[in-house]
Amino acid sequence: MSFPLSGFTPLNMTGGLTIVVVEEDRARAMAIVDALKDAGDCDVFVIGNSSGLARKIAAHAPDIVLIDIDNPTRDMMEELTLASGPLDRPVAMFVSGAAGGLAQTAIEAGVSAYVVDGLSPERIKPIMDTAIARFRIVRQMRNELAETRRALEERKVIDRAKGLLMKAKGIDEDAAYALLRKAAMDQGRRVAEVAEALATAARLLG
């Protein structure tokens, strides 16, 4: 059960770049792949999350590895930053020199890039610009989805709290909502928080 921890031997000086995208979600992966292919001459491979990630990535001998910054399997990438032999080219999150600002922008956009040692910034830049733009869109979509889910969840809790108040106090829906809103304003909290507290208390009191 052994495999080399890093193994990027063929240094690709002139031809197209080999890029590995680590992404579990197929639709998201394809969107990123298409954008990268449009950006220039490159081979792009997609790998899902798996416990043998480092080995699978190494098999492609990529020049660049792109991975969502929130992906827990990122820690497996760390093994690739340690060269296991003198001929291996370790990858680094490029943070120094000309590419430093790019790394910062990438992180803010939600993508971490691991780039093979010795690859010039001019060759990385177009790829990274595309990846950053694409990941930014992906992130935005994901945030919007999470926001929608949260809003839905809050609506449910508020409805439950309104129901409890209507039953306990014999008031109508508007009055119940007004009561919740007033309590929220008095305590400097959000209506959803007050509703949640009420629902929890009601549950405890049986």
Partner 1 sequence: MKAVSLPVAYMPLVDAAPLIMAQEMGFAEDEGISLELIAAPSWSSVRDMLAFGRVDAAHLLSPVPVAMAMGLGGVTTAVSAVSVLSVNGNVIGVGRGLEDRLRADGYRFDFSDPLRAAAALARVGGGPLTFGVPFPFSMHVELLRYWAAGTALGPGGIEIRTVPPPLMANALAAGDVDAFCVGEPWGSFAVEQGAGALLLPGRAIWNFAPEKVLAVRSAWAETEPDLLGRLMRAVWRAGRWVSNPDSRAATAEILSRRTYLDVPPELIDRALSGHLTLSRRGEQRRVDRFLEFHEGAATFPWRSQARWIAAHLGRAHPATTRAARDDAALVFRSDLHRRHLAGTGCELPGASEKVEGSIRQPMLVPAVRGNLSLLPDAFFDGLIFDPSRPG
Instruction: List binders of partner 1 among 41-80 (CB under 8 A).
Output: 49, 51-52, 54, 69-79
**Separation between Cα atoms, residue 5 and residue 49, nearest integer Å:** 17
Q: Minimum distance between the CB of residue 192 and partner 1, rounded to whole angstroms?
A: 15
Verify binding: residue 116, partner 1, rule CB under 8 A: no
97 binds partner 1 (CB under 8 A): no
Task: Find the part of the chain contacting partner 1 (CB under 8 A) among 8-16, 92-100, 150-158, 168-176.
Answer: 92-100
Interaction mask 135-174, partner 1, x per CB under 8 A? ----------------------------------------
Q: How far is the CB of 93 from partner 1 (least distance, A)?
A: 4
Of 2 and 14, CB closest to partner 1: 2
Per CB under 8 A, the list member of 12, 43, 45, 81 interacting with partner 1 is 81
Find the binder of partner 1 among 6, 18, 112, 130 (CB under 8 A): 112
Residue 27 CB, shortest distance to partner 1, in Å, is 21
Give Cα 70 to chain centroid, integer Å. Answer: 4
User: How many CB atoms within 10 Å of residue 178?
Assistant: 13
Q: Which residues bind partner 1 (CB under 8 A)?
A: 1-2, 49, 51-52, 54, 69-79, 81-82, 91-93, 95, 103-104, 107, 112, 114
